[in-house]
Structure 1
Amino acid sequence: MKVSKKVAGVEYAIRDIVLAARKVQQKGMQVDYLNIGDPVQFGFQPPDNVKQALINAINNGENYYSTSEGLLELRQEIAKKENAKGLSISADEILVTNGVSEGLDMVISSIVEEGDEVLLPGPYYPPYASYVRLHGGVPVEFAVDLDNSTPDIDDIKSKITTKTVAICLISPNNPTGVVFNEKSLRELVDIANQHNLYIICDEIYDQIVFDEKFVGIGKVAGDSPVIVLNGFSKVHLMSGWRIGYIAFNNSPKLDAIRENLPKLARVRIATSLPIQHAALESLRGPQDYISNFVSEIKQRRDLVVTRLNEMPGLSCPNPKGSFYAFPKIEDNRFGTDKEFVTKLLESKGVLTVHGSGFGEQYGSGHFRLVYLPSLEILDSAMNKIEEFVSQ
């Protein structure tokens, strides 16, 4: 039977690679899963007050469809959060989604038509390219200096064509941990304004930063056509509950998408109402658990980056945010980065993700690993990787 070419072209390396890990496990080898950035799977949990808010909502009968835009009180709190980062918006500019992925799908489907081009930071989180292709568009990677956390402005300018409709940013970045500074964000917004492009900025890791203060794009947005994507999976440790949001900047250029995109929200009905109550509590309740979480993750980052840079044939920039390392394979006698990752899995039982899964142009020759497990597990995994590259 027929399968759409659009769907056949969708890839998600982070989860696709798990199929190979299952085969290794079936042979009796223990696998260290360093592939998925889910803090909850590694022992971090939402605070008790947030869990209780979910339970209370269920017990209080909050089990019906919410409004398609999302619970008003939650949208008000989200607007406060985004305004504290620099925007100046109301609850009317917020739309609650089933995770950032659904929000990204809604935005891309609202602006991309056949042949349109979308600029993505190389390397990028795979769903960005997948959704662009799914809706008939063409993903175009631009260069990013991973050591200095800066986008290559000249490269971006050279890749803008009459078909370009948007520039996507992910800061802090997945898979590299790059965090764009205020100067870089301002330059990107200026370019978007000059060429009448949307800026789509994913800030899902906005509070998971280690060495410098995070600057949100809202601080430099002005009245530019900026759309922020964010959610509760990472910072608020609610990954399995699938809740995120779209925040539209208060820009007249966004009037048309603000009117039309919510139609997609109505078609898919709503986001889970009990989960929205939990998300509301996660914003209103104590926030000290976030700094404790980030402090623990920083220790893990320091261990992993130090160890990787001591290994022959590997080099790893220091991630400024998120919880991923993206080492470069300087001496790859195994062939491609995918073959490197596959051989590492088969011989040592360490599951990482091939860098080309995050974009062929700038991801190839790297691999991504997650440093969310305990220090003991990470140290053991680093020993295995070192044995692998030293053999």
Structure 2
Amino acid sequence: MLRVNPNLDKIEISVIRKIAEACKEYEDGEKKLINLTIGEPDLPQSKIIIDKTIEYMQNTRLGYPQLGGMIELREEIGKHYKDRYKVNVGSDEIIVTVGTTEGLSTVIKTIILPGDEVLTPLPVYSGYEPLITLAGAKLIKMDTSNENFELTVDMLKKHITPRTKAIIVNYPSNPSGVIISEKNRDDILKFAKENHLYIISDEVYSEVVYEGKHNSFLQEEYRENVILINGFSKSHSLTGWRIGYIITSKKIREYLLKVHQYTVTSSSIISQKAALVALKECKDISSQVNIYKKRAESVYNKLKEKNIFAIKPRGAIYIFVSLDGITNLNSLDFAKTLLEKERVAVVPGIAFGMDRYIRISLVKDEAILNEAIDRLINFINK
């Protein structure tokens, strides 16, 4: 066989996708499959987004979008950050991407070199490490379990080396639902600036916060250090539209734009229009957030009643459940057996670098989630 990138031998298809695919074997049977793996919101897309996007398609010639994204959409994103986070963001500091995954890929291809190290707190979203490995770099994972699963500067000080190039943060966290405090955020920003590090901040769950507020890493004083990635999949259920964005400094955007252009050229003009409608017409998503909050509280309390430890989520759409005191199985074997015996699909914690946990996605209505937890408890009791 002709040669390929040797780093490809170091990565595999994600465990999340593997479990999701395994569900197909259990779709038939007396007990209905409950799939709580992939974090795809089940809440409906707003009718106004669909209607106005269809109208746009019917009345507009659909040509190539402007490089970097529709100017109207970039201006509206900037307005959103000014109104919500009091940060000035110009249209020339934004790139509209094909979902947040392409945004992450573009950023990593641009700033990460072979031999670099990137720091990230555990648990960590499974999509980061393969991209960093493909770049010939190394992801250094820091255990946050003794700090209530929140990154601190003390952890960074213990792990920084001359090879450290960047820090990846994801708050609210997938999979834990933890949000970062304002103090820890500010301390981390200061540390990054003093040590000339990038912060890649994945804030795709920024609008799904149950308690407190979202403390965005995008702050005026640290604009040269921070590259923010966000999108519309979780906030507006626009998963299939594949639409996200990067916010960074003007100078870094110039470099990112080259990688973005020669990777995808642009995101779909149709999806960009949908995102524009979402920002203009669907600013208030509190009703959707309250649904996720109610689900999270219900599942958390049900587990707590049975003395099953879970991290209480303050945002995002997941609950991270500990297997300690429950089983000696590793998380993958536990998830596979739970699927086989009870037809409940969850994601093993090993996907996030923590093998003594499982992740439950809150993407079904409360009655189905309660049924799933009853089956989980029944499985544990057996």
Name the aligned partner's letter for residue 329 of structure 1: L
* Residue equivalent to 1:321: 315
Using a 3 Å threshold, how does the CA distance of structure 1 residues 93 and 193 change in structure 2: closer, same or farther?
A: same
Tell me the secondary structure at the aligned position of residue 218 of structure 1. Answer: coil
Could you tell me how far 1:247 is from its partner in structure 2? 0.3
Give the 5 Å matches for 1:1-391. Answer: 1=1, 2-8=3-9, 9-25=11-27, 30-39=32-41, 42=42, 44-84=43-83, 85-145=85-145, 148=148, 150-219=150-219, 221-249=221-249, 255=251, 257-267=252-262, 268-288=264-284, 290-312=285-307, 314-359=308-353, 363-391=354-382
Name the aligned partner's letter for residue 365 of structure 2: S
Gaps of 5+ in 1: none
**Preserved contact between residue 325 and residue 370 of structure 1 (Cα < 8 Å):** yes
Name the aligned partner's letter for residue 356 of structure 2: G
Using a 3 Å threshold, how does the CA distance of structure 1 residues 303 and 220 change in structure 2: closer, same or farther?
A: farther
Could you tell me how far 1:332 is from its partner in structure 2? 4.4
Name the aligned partner's letter for residue 104 of structure 1: L
**Preserved contact between residue 146 and residue 176 of structure 1 (Cα < 8 Å):** no
For 2:108 and 2:165, locate their aligned partners in 1 and report how far apart those are by CA, in whole Å: 10
Tell me the secondary structure at the aligned position of residue 168 of structure 1. Answer: strand
Could you tell me how far 1:4 is from its partner in structure 2? 3.5
Could you tell me how far 1:135 is from its partner in structure 2? 1.1
Name the aligned partner's letter for residue 81 of structure 1: H
Name the aligned partner's letter for residue 82 of structure 2: N
Could you tell me how far 1:69 is from its partner in structure 2? 0.3
For 1:220 and 1:145, locate their aligned partners in 2 and report how far apart those are by CA, in whole Å: 31
- Cα deviation, 1:146-193, whole Å, max 9, x if unaligned, reads 874531322221111111100011011101001001111101111111
The root-mean-square deviation of aligned C-alpha atoms, in Å, is: 1.8
Name the aligned partner's letter for residue 266 of structure 2: A
Deviates more, 1:104-113 or 1:264-273: 264-273
Tell me the secondary structure at the aligned position of residue 176 of structure 1. Answer: coil
For 1:226 and 1:170, locate their aligned partners in 2 and report how far apart those are by CA, in whole Å: 13
Deviates more, 1:233-242 or 1:216-225: 216-225
For 1:272 and 1:28, locate their aligned partners in 2 and report how far apart those are by CA, in whole Å: 42
TM-score, normalization by structure 1: 0.92
For 2:334 and 2:172, locate their aligned partners in 1 and report how far apart those are by CA, in whole Å: 26
- Cα deviation, 1:281-314, whole Å, max 9, x if unaligned, reads 11111433x11101111110001111122235x3
For 2:67 and 2:367, locate their aligned partners in 1 and report how far apart those are by CA, in whole Å: 44
Could you tell me how far 1:19 is from its partner in structure 2? 2.6
For 2:147 and 2:360, locate their aligned partners in 1 and report how far apart those are by CA, in whole Å: 17
Using a 3 Å threshold, how does the CA distance of structure 1 residues 279 and 145 change in structure 2: closer, same or farther?
A: same
For 1:19 and 1:145, locate their aligned partners in 2 and report how far apart those are by CA, in whole Å: 30
Name the aligned partner's letter for residue 241 of structure 1: W
Using a 3 Å threshold, how does the CA distance of structure 1 residues 51 and 60 change in structure 2: closer, same or farther?
A: same
Could you tell me how far 1:131 is from its partner in structure 2? 0.7
Could you tell me how far 1:221 is from its partner in structure 2? 4.6
For 1:27 and 1:19, locate their aligned partners in 2 and report how far apart those are by CA, in whole Å: 17
For 1:377 and 1:348, locate their aligned partners in 2 and report how far apart those are by CA, in whole Å: 13
**Preserved contact between residue 20 and residue 38 of structure 2 (Cα < 8 Å):** no
Name the aligned partner's letter for residue 190 of structure 1: K
Name the aligned partner's letter for residue 340 of structure 1: F
Name the aligned partner's letter for residue 376 of structure 1: A
TM-score, normalization by structure 2: 0.94
Could you tell me how far 1:25 is from its partner in structure 2? 2.9
Q: % of aligned pairs identical?
A: 32
Tell me the secondary structure at the aligned position of residue 121 of structure 1. Answer: strand
- Cα deviation, 1:110-134, whole Å, max 9, x if unaligned, reads 1111121111121111111111111
